[in-house]
């Protein structure tokens, strides 16, 4: 007799597929960039963003380009004290898509927590995500 | 004058780097597989896992192989009613690493929520992840 679990066949198709996990956002470096930018809605200069994300110049440039092409961030090049300065900002569309992505991410956490009491004990996953 | 935000330079390095987002687990299909398996600790047969994750045979096989090589899942091939049956199960190490990964994922959600009131309203991110 198999020890695998039985589950109802109906309505389970794609139950854990997480289609909403947009790959443009989900990639680790880009998730890091977007979370930095959503936490700093007025924008960040390239050097500060690089520091917050712990990325190299090349990696940050490459991933910013992907995000800009997807219209999730906007990049402005200007001069400050006669030196070129690149500023990055999340767009309204980027904010919207990031929030949609975040809802799916929370579903992953809920699904994992629903798995059992062992995973759902204090210190592993807090009962309240936002303590009062 | 730049409109970008200022932030304290110290202790911000890598603040949004999320080093703990293990790429083996973070990849979308593998996150889907591992969440299915953590929700079914006794294991799942290949066909059921495929259905839950919405993956093709080839994609599921490929990602299972990566997870097995990382010792996060174990794959058993046996016969049931004279037909070969592949069963997949999360390992103790897989469970441990998944839980560590999950804590970082929750940090991402908290960081995003801390960004402002707009993101932190009911319906976008629930105040309590686990309602009473």
CATH no. for residue B70? 1.10.10.10
Cβ contacts (< 8 Å) between B125 and chain A: which residues? 102-103, 106, 129
Residue with tokens 């210190």: A123
- A93's CB contacts (< 8 A; 6+ apart) are A71, A72
In whole angstroms, give the CA distance from residue B132 to residue B123. Answer: 17
Give me the pLDDT at residue A113, please.
Answer: 83
Residue A52 pLDDT > 70: yes
Closest by Cβ to A112, choosing from B33, B38, B42 = B38
Residue A16 lies in a domain: no
Give the residue on B whose Cα is nearest the Cα of A28: B21
Residue B79 lies in a domain: yes
* pTM for the structure as a whole: 0.81
**Domain count of the fold of chain A:** 1
Q: Do A108 and B42 touch (CB under 8 A)?
A: no
**pLDDT (tens digit per residue) in A11-38:** 688 999 999 999 999 999 999 999 999 9
The residues pairing with B74 across neighbouring beta strands, listed in sequence order, are: B89
Q: Do B4 and A87 touch (CB under 8 A)?
A: yes
**Distance to chain A for B70, nearest Cα, Å:** 19
Residue B127 lies in a domain: no
Q: Do B21 and A5 touch (CB under 8 A)?
A: no
Q: How confident is the model at residue A119 (pLDDT cuts 50, 70, 90)?
A: very low
**Distance to chain B for A66, nearest Cα, Å:** 18
Residue with tokens 């953590």: B38
Structure tokens at A71: 């219209």
Residue B11 pLDDT > 50: yes
Q: Which domain holds residue A57?
A: 23-112
- Per cent of chain B over pLDDT 70 is 79
Residue A132 lies in a domain: no
Closest by Cβ to B105, choosing from A2, A87, A109 = A109
Residue B72 lies in a domain: yes
Q: Do A4 and B48 touch (CB under 8 A)?
A: yes
Cβ contacts (< 8 Å) between B120 and chain A: which residues? 130
Provide the 3-class DSSP secondary structure of residue B88: strand
């Amino acid at each position: 007799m198999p020890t695998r679990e039985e589950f109802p066949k109906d309505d389970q198709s794609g139950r854990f597929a997480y289609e909403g996990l947009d790959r443009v956002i989900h990639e680790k470096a880009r998730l890091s960039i977007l979370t930095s930018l959503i936490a700093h809605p007025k924008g960040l200069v390239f050097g500060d963003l690089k520091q917050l994300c712990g990325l190299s110049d090349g990696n940050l440039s490459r991933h910013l380009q992907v995000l800009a092409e997807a219209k999730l961030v906007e990049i402005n090049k200007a001069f400050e004290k006669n030196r070129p300065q690149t500023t990055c900002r999340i767009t309204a569309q980027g904010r919207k898509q990031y929030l949609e992505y975040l809802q799916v991410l929370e579903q992953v956490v809920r699904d994992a927590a629903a798995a059992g009491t062992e995973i759902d004990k204090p210190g592993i996953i807090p009962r309240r995500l936002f303590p009062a």
